[in-house]
Amino acid sequence: RHVADFQLSIASVTEDSSSDCLAQDLHLQAQKLAERLKCDAVVREISAGPGTVNFTINRELLAKTVLQQVLKDGSQYGVKSELFSTVPRQKAVIEFSSPNIAKKFHVGHLRSTIVGNFIANLKVALGHEVIRINYLGDWGMQFGLLGVGFQHFGNKEKLKSSPLQHLFEVYVQINKAAQDENTKKLAKDFFRKLEEHDEQTLSLWKQFRDFSIEEYSRIYKRLGVHFDEYSGESFYHEKSQEILKTLEDKGLLQKTIKGTGIVDLSEKKDLSSFSTVMRSDGTSLYITRQVSPSVDLAAAIDRMHKHSCDAMIYVTDKSQSNHFQHLFQILKLMGYDWAERCQHVSFGLVQGMKTRRGEVIFLEDVLNEVRSRMLQNMASAKTTKEVEDPMETAEKVGLAALIIQDFRGLLSSDYQFSWDRALQSRGDTGVFLQYTHARLYSLEQMHGDEQLTDVNVACLQEPDAISVLQHLLRYDEVLYRSSQDLQPKHIVSYLLTLGHLAAVAHKTLPVKGSAPELAQARLCLFQAARLVLASGMKLLGITPVTQM
């Protein structure tokens, strides 16, 4: 079965754009146009389809051009495409992951971490400058409670060795007593001391923060994620008071009867839409993370001042969409035109991610779970060769499984998580991608001593070879789509198709036992497929494995 390389829809170029143009008229026009067009050195065949004109490229040229380009550009293939030649190089600040200290690192934070990392990777690959910021929930009343809790139940050794676990346990314990009036008073006092920069209190808070960041960095490293800056609400709580004053000076701050401070966001100034920025006691809102507009306003203004970036991207779940709409609107009202360059990339909720021990509390639980399940699968698989470092391989393959399952759909849609589905070795999974990469890699290793220079790739004429070549040709379009809407799913479905096409070609186009010229050409094809597979996987935040 022959598939054309390019297709032109007649309806898109005819004068008569009215929809009553009949299908048979379009077909007739397509035939007429196809007859008038001439083939040349590039186009080998022109034919008419139902309302389309189809073009088939000279097969030798297709093989030569694509393979030369892939092998020459290597990991830059697709990125160097002229599709990106008009796109200006920019500077972007991306805020993602952003867990709360002493609270659970829930699955929403995991999504934010891998999505933010993908966006950062893609932008860096396309030549943009990126600053990755982790904006921690490291301030607020809960630290009063945590401080008191630590004075009662804390243990300095445990704080050093496993800070996230220990602080969480302390927080759970003190929370049981949180309704007690005396505890409430102590917590308030502790937090007041913090705000007044009391040395002893601050030093304890700083330990909570520093040890937590240290442990987070270690876990992020397992994920292949890094940050240029660990920021947090604590940096901006004082500046947020200045923001409230600025809002007041500009006449944007209104007081309600109850005394809360609000900003009117409605078109008609009838308060049909407003944002609350101040509690009645005059403090900025610290009820829950990220719902303190004045703190976030201070952070945004400070960031723009410090980095003067072309884009500021926030990656959080969609329940915070309203908060960010308001944030950007207030910035605009304050006269900051760059609010137009701020963007909220939101994602849906993940249901049902549990470990064998129950609910996910820490990011590490997920990583350990996926590693142990993968090790088990590898041990029971008949095809598994002896892998040099099974733990490391299981971790990388398991992560690929998590990421592909998460990135297959639109980011904004919720999905039901399933370990079994994620870890299948066949079908559209991360495990399948890793397996395909490892197979193609070992094929290269087996024939490694053969130099792939001056290879005559013109002999790649089989339909299965052509399918791979056609698909490789489209890689830049897929990168372009993802760069426009920041959705990883375009790249995911591209890579899964590439994996399946390469797997079929691997079966039908043997390297071993073929004539030397043919063997070399096929090796070239498989190497190109592996290079593009690896590039795409790395963009998604996956480390390709070479053994499995």
What dihedral do alpha carbons 331, 333, 338, 343 form, nearest 10°?
60
Map tokens 């969409």 to a residue: 321
In the sheet that holds 129-136, the strands lie side by side as 229-232, 129-136, 91-95, 311-317, 342-347
Give 443's DSSP letter.
H
CA dist 218 and 127 (Å) reads 28
CA dist 536 and 547 (Å) reads 18
> Do residues 253 and 261 touch, judged by C-beta distance below 8 A?
yes
CB atoms within 10 A of CB 130: 20
Q: How far is CA 291 from CA 191, 284, 303, 313, 444, in A?
A: 19, 10, 18, 17, 53
3-state secondary structure at position 262: strand
**What Rg do the C-alpha atoms of the chain give, in angstroms?**
28
Token representation of residue 72: 């020459």
CA dist 33 and 10 (Å) reads 9
At residue 44, φ and ψ (nearest 5 deg) are -90, -30
Residue 395: closest CA among 434, 427, 421, 424: 434
Q: How far is CA 399 from CA 172, 248, 301, 435, in A?
A: 30, 49, 36, 13
Residues with catalytic function: 103, 106, 109
Helices and strands counted in the chain (H then E): 19, 15
What dihedral do alpha carbons 88, 121, 498, 348 form, nearest 10°?
-100
